[in-house]
Amino acid sequence: MPKITYVSADGDLHVVDVPIGTSVMRGAVGTGIDGIVAECGGNAMCATCHVYVPAEHAASLPEMTAVEDEMLECTVAERRATSRLSCQLRITEGLDGLVVRLPEAQE
């Protein structure tokens, strides 16, 4: 099962085995990691699952849709070039070792 590392805004690390076919958001919410709220349950409608993904992992991520791009304009924390909605990041074998950083605030 792919391992995803979540790094909180204050530097805490959580390494989670996340099942293929679920999402980076589900891996956090399902294990009680603070920092991802996911108010809309993964429908790209709330932007409270915002994460920062290091540039070196960008190539292994699914392409950003127009809807995700639009919702990223609604994040509470600053949008950066590395911003993604974690509910839109489906887990595949290729994401094993992914490290995501959580913003200071989601709402």
Give me the residues that bind ligand FES (CB under 6 A), please: 25, 38-40, 42, 44-49, 71, 85, 87
- Nearest CA among 26, 94, 96, 101 for reference residue 60: 94
Looking at the Cβ atoms of 11 and 66, the one nearer to ligand FES is 66
CB of 38 to ligand FES, least distance (A): 4
Cα(57)–Cα(81) distance, integer angstroms:
13
Identify which of 81, 99, 104, 106 has the alpha carbon closest to the alpha carbon of residue 7. Answer: 99
CB of 37 to ligand FES, least distance (A): 8
Output 11 or 32, the one with its CB closest to ligand FES.
32
User: Least distance from C-beta 48 to ligand FES, angstroms?
Assistant: 6
Q: Return the number of the residue (2 or 37) whose C-beta is nearest ligand FES.
A: 37
Q: Which of 57, 105, 43 is nearest to 79 (CA)?
A: 105
Q: Residue with the closest Cβ to ligand FES?
A: 87
Give the contacts of 22 (CB within 8 A, at least 6 positions apart). 30, 90, 91
Residue placing its CB nearer to ligand FES in the complex, 11 or 40: 40
